[in-house]
Amino acid sequence: MNHNLRLGDERRDVLQATFDTVTQVWEGFDKARESEPELTAATAALLAETLPEQGMIHTDALGQAVDVLDQSLAQSRPRFLAYIGSSGLEIGAVADFLAASYDINLAVDARAASTLEVQTSKWLGEFIGFPNARGLFTSGGTVSNITALAAARHRAVPESREMGNTGPMAVYVSSEAHYSNKRAVELLGLGTRAVRSIAIDEQHRMVPAALEEQIRADMAAGVKPMCIIASAGTTLTGAIDPLREIARIAQTYNIWMHVDGAYGAPAAGTDVARDLFDGIELADSVTIDAHKWLFVPKACSIVLVKDYAALAATFGHNEAYMPHEGEEPNPVDVTLEYSRPLRALKLWLGFKAHGASEFRSAITKNIELAQETYSRASVNASFRVLHHRPQLSIVPLQHIPHGMTDPEQISKHNAALCSAIEKDGRVFLSPAVIDGETWLRPCFTNFRTELSDVDVLFEVIEDLGNKR
């Protein structure tokens, strides 16, 4: 049995078992489960085992791993509508298997794989309408955002790499921006007081006049505006800030404009939503999470920048163990991370296998499901919806039991209902607090979700909501 860490003569059996399992799993993902299985006693015991000093028959070990996975919450299932889920795109999972098998490291030039990463980032720029940009794949929106923010700081205060933050700076976000932006500000040592939380309108979009007023006030007070972060699809409601107007302000005051499109930016590649992203091409950088609305398995985010040299100025360094050859900077000279896997392959293979058009259609279908959900809820007396239709694919809903009018009671009811829905397991939803009230927040970002799943969503909410 000792193969010196090779699978040896068990290789075929392991691959065959993997193939059989994955085939079954993917077929299973096409239909939702009626409920989620509880952790079995056997799995609980397995997960309490101590370090195995000796190996076991590999296919048996594989079977145990599959048991654990099968009793885990897979976002790939069609009725996982909580948070901003992902779908585990099949060809993307295959790409991960291949990329992991080759185990290429993009820390330095990896030849064809490095070129593939550049090519894929350019394809993505073309897809969302952010041309002439180049980018890098990161582990998530959080890392993409901090990468862009670090470049913005270097642009605003070039001596900051050497001197640190020598004077007060400000970063502008909508009051609905994702927390990762605040975290980036914290990690860059600016302190959260540098974050200017700009007012939003009734559609939850940043108010440009309030932004401009704040920038002027900061400049008058000797505070350096460092970056404006526009959200292109907020996590809470899917709101898209007015990008063109924000870009005008950024240009007027010479401030780096970053678009956090971690969730929403892929919708810019569709006919139904493209106009909402008008002006995105004027930004300095954009974050896009392919592991959200481009359906590929985690972890796969991209930060696209107009001025690639800005990344080199921010991260470039010259260490003896990192030889520099030729004109092109080493990837580690433009990234926060050192060792990086070939994350781009899953998107590259996705575009090659399905074509951009299939991605556009799947995103459009999600948007249509969101619109349908909104329409149904808005004519059903048991539901309350926001005043405006969803901009993307998040549809906040409140279930309103007959005769209940007190907002506080309605909030409590929906919070309890959300827990009951999670326990029930037919549908997965997460709650969200919007303007001080608790809502159910279905989010459609899975290509497997169908209209029949929307039927079940309403059935489950009404069934459990009316029992409470």
Among 438, 440, 435, which Cα is nearest to 422's? 440
Choice between 152 and 460, CB closer to ligand PLP: 152
3-state helix, strand, coil in the chain (%, to 5): 50, 15, 40
> Is 178 among the residues that bind ligand PLP (CB under 6 A)?
yes
The Cβ of residue 403 has, within 10 Å, a number of other Cβ atoms equal to: 5
DSSP for 401-432?
-TT---HHHHHHHHHHHHHHHHHH-SSB--EE
Strand partners, 433: 438
> Is 137 among the residues that bind ligand PLP (CB under 6 A)?
no
By CB under 6 A, name the one of 148, 194, 226, 262 that touches ligand PLP. 262
State the amino acid at position 17 in one-letter form: A
Residues 6+ apart with CB under 8 A from 435: none
> Is 140 among the residues that bind ligand PLP (CB under 6 A)?
yes
Query: Are 437 and 407 spatial neighbours (Cβ–Cβ below 8 Å)?
Result: yes
Determine the interface stretch with ligand PLP among 139-147, 152-160, 165-173, 339-347 (rule: CB under 6 A).
139-147
Choice between 89 and 461, CB closer to ligand PLP: 89
Choice between 346 and 384, CB closer to ligand PLP: 346
Count of positions on this chain that bind ligand PLP (CB under 6 A): 12
Query: Are 71 and 46 spatial neighbours (Cβ–Cβ below 8 Å)?
Result: no
Choice between 262 and 377, CB closer to ligand PLP: 262
**Residue 266 CB, nearest approach to ligand PLP (Å):** 12
Choice between 142 and 391, CB closer to ligand PLP: 142
> Is 180 among the residues that bind ligand PLP (CB under 6 A)?
yes
**Residue 107 CB, nearest approach to ligand PLP (Å):** 21
Residues 63-122 interacting with ligand PLP (rule: CB under 6 A): 84
Euclidean distance between CA atoms 58 and 433, whole angstroms: 47
Residues 209-238 interacting with ligand PLP (rule: CB under 6 A): 235
Residues 274-313 interacting with ligand PLP (rule: CB under 6 A): 289, 301
Three-state DSSP state, 443: strand
Question: Which residue in the block uniquely carries the two structure tokens 């993009």?
Answer: 106
> Is 314 among the residues that bind ligand PLP (CB under 6 A)?
no
DSSP state of 394: B
Choice between 242 and 465, CB closer to ligand PLP: 242
Axis-axis angle for helices 208-220, 243-252 (nearest 10): 20
Cβ-closest position to ligand PLP: 141
- Chain residues that interact with ligand PLP, rule: CB under 6 A: 84, 140-142, 178, 180, 235, 260, 262-263, 289, 301
